[in-house]
Amino acid sequence: MSTEEVTGKAVGAAAMDRGEGASCSVDALFGGRLTVTQPRKGHRAGTDAVLLAAASGDPGDGTVVDLGAGVGTVGLAIAARCPRVRAVLVEREPALASLARHNCVVNRFDDRVRVIAADVLAPARARHAAGLAPAMADLVVTNPPFYAPGRFRTSPDASRSRAHAMDDGLLDQWMRTAADLLKPRGRLVMIHRPDALALILAVLAGRFGGITLMPVHPRAGQAAVRLLVAAVKGSRSPLSMLPGIALHDEAGRFTAEAEAVHRGDAGLAL
């Protein structure tokens, strides 16, 4: 077994024994279908993870790879919704990878979900040695770091800053890894920021087609704050733009659609 692969119940227990449990919360998501232990500080699973999971569709009995998985929320949510799927959660931060493995065990998905501690941006040889084999995935989902360092104010928390900040040039490498992992005609689903659309299209070009975009608006009539992107490896189909989803009504409550997505009762068809 590769030393990069995080396995066994002892990993989650060890994280708790090191005192990480005292700085973690246990949160029920998707109407209680999923229980996630995650750090109280730093990057935490929220609406971005919910939207990404909802947009992923059902890969049937295929393999889904969650790149930059954090504590595993998105990949585990897909496993909870799709009983035949197998998932691989890829996370480079050892503490988060340990928590992801713990969450696999707690949610009883450790028979079909595994965690690999690896850097998405590592050279191909290192990725392959860690267990990220070419053409292993039917679906890749990812919430890559959004913001270029220096362009936006990043968090003083180191792990949160790493989760949110990445030079724009590195998104090309991130997509190269996604394309390498996917089978021909495999599907990519990503959430990113709307102002990065030109960059997103540029890094997908030559690798993916059949691109589908869905903007995410805080309220109806307001500018989008997130962009859901789906694409097919090797496709030559044209780009399509779908109607957006509004998260809140005028009173600040979730819209009916957003509420159903957060409960895990509805998906987003990309």
> DSSP letters along 88-116, please?
EEE-SSHHHHHHHHHHHHHTT-TTTEEEE
Q: How far apart are CA 71 and CA 96, in angstroms?
A: 5
Mean pLDDT, residues 26-36: 93
Q: How far apart are CA 196 and CA 226, in angstroms?
A: 10
Q: What total of structural domains would you count in the chain?
A: 1
The answer to whether residue 170 sits within a structural domain is yes
Q: How far apart are CA 102 and CA 100, in angstroms?
A: 5
The answer to whether residue 88 sits within a structural domain is yes
Looking at the predicted structure, is the pLDDT value of residue 3 above 60? no
This prediction's pTM: 0.86
The answer to whether residue 61 sits within a structural domain is yes
The answer to whether residue 232 sits within a structural domain is yes
Instruction: With CA atoms as reference, report the closest residue to 104 among 15, 183, 9.
Output: 9
The answer to whether residue 269 sits within a structural domain is no
Q: How far apart are CA 20 and CA 239, in angstroms?
A: 44
The answer to whether residue 270 sits within a structural domain is no
List pLDDT tens digits, range 194-230.
999 999 999 999 999 999 999 999 999 999 999 999 9
pLDDT at 41: 85
Looking at the predicted structure, is the pLDDT value of residue 164 above 70? no
The answer to whether residue 268 sits within a structural domain is no
The answer to whether residue 259 sits within a structural domain is yes
Residue 225 belongs to a domain with what CATH number?
Answer: 3.40.50.150
List pLDDT tens digits, range 107-150.
999 999 999 999 999 999 999 999 999 999 999 999 998 754 44
In Å, how far are 51, 64, 110, 259, 260 from 268, measured between CA atoms? 8, 17, 26, 12, 10
Range of the domain at 72: 5-263
